[in-house]
Amino acid sequence: MTHQEDNMIGIIDYDAGNIKSVEKALHYLGEETVVSRDPQVLLKADKVILPGVGSFGQAMENLHTYGLVPVIHEMVEKKTPFLGICLGLQLLFESSEETPGVEGLGILKGRIVKIPPAPGLKIPHMGWNSLHLQNNGRLFKDIPEQTYVYFVHSYYLQAEDPEIVKATTQYSTDIHASVEKDNVFACQFHPEKSSKWGLKILENFASIGKEETFGKEEKEGK
């Protein structure tokens, strides 16, 4: 078995994603990817990324239309490393003020609320902000404190459990910028657009469980 097949990264294609830039960043890192909305293809992937830009309500509608909501739950339940990016982070939670009444995936507990207005700050929040790192996030292995990453958003996460919050940033308020719980990871910022440290974050995600997977497949004689 080749190295690439050991670590196929599925990128969920549901017409709401910044798919090309994520795919390009992973290829730059030498990772093998498959862009798909086919449940069978995605369920076979070793890791999965849910990218996303646009509106919470429209994105949830697309996930339902393509029958991907149960597929995402199944991937998470079988402990596939899963990364939500930007809107992909927001969808993992229960609801968003952007589209009241629309249920999110509800995989993590928390709500998505509008960034409060503040003098001199534009909304949407677009641009580079520094991260405060906490709670030993695996995505942030070897990433320096106060690293700058690229954000584009008008709504932000308030996670219910502070333990899952691995990075925060300040923009009008305290923004939960990245979370991790078991095999589920998410970033409000765009690692694929965040220069060398963003690539390092993606590399950290890609390397999760690599050795374990290889050992297991050797044992199973795959």
97 is catalytic: no
Euclidean distance between CA atoms 217 and 46, whole angstroms: 12
61 is catalytic: no
The backbone region for 50, taken as left when phi is positive above 0, alpha when psi lies in -120 to 50, beta otherwise, is beta
> Per DSSP, which regions of 45-203 are E strands?
47-50, 82-85, 95-96, 110-114, 125-130, 132-133, 148-153, 155-159, 165-171, 173-181, 184-187
Contact 115, 171 (CB under 8 A): yes
> Which among 42, 45, 40, 49 is positioned nearest to 4, based on CA atoms?
45
Which residues contact residue 131 at a Cβ distance below 8 angstroms, ignoring those fewer than 6 apart?
A: 140, 143, 145, 146, 147, 148, 149, 167, 168, 169, 177, 178, 189
187 is catalytic: no
Say which of 125, 153, 176, 190 is annotated catalytic: 190
8-state DSSP, 117? P
Say which of 23, 31, 98, 192 is annotated catalytic: 192
8-state DSSP, 191? G
In the numeric block, the tokens 């509800």 are attached to 106
Contact 89, 51 (CB under 8 A): no
Say which of 31, 86, 153, 203 is annotated catalytic: 86
Catalytic residue positions, numbered? 86, 190, 192
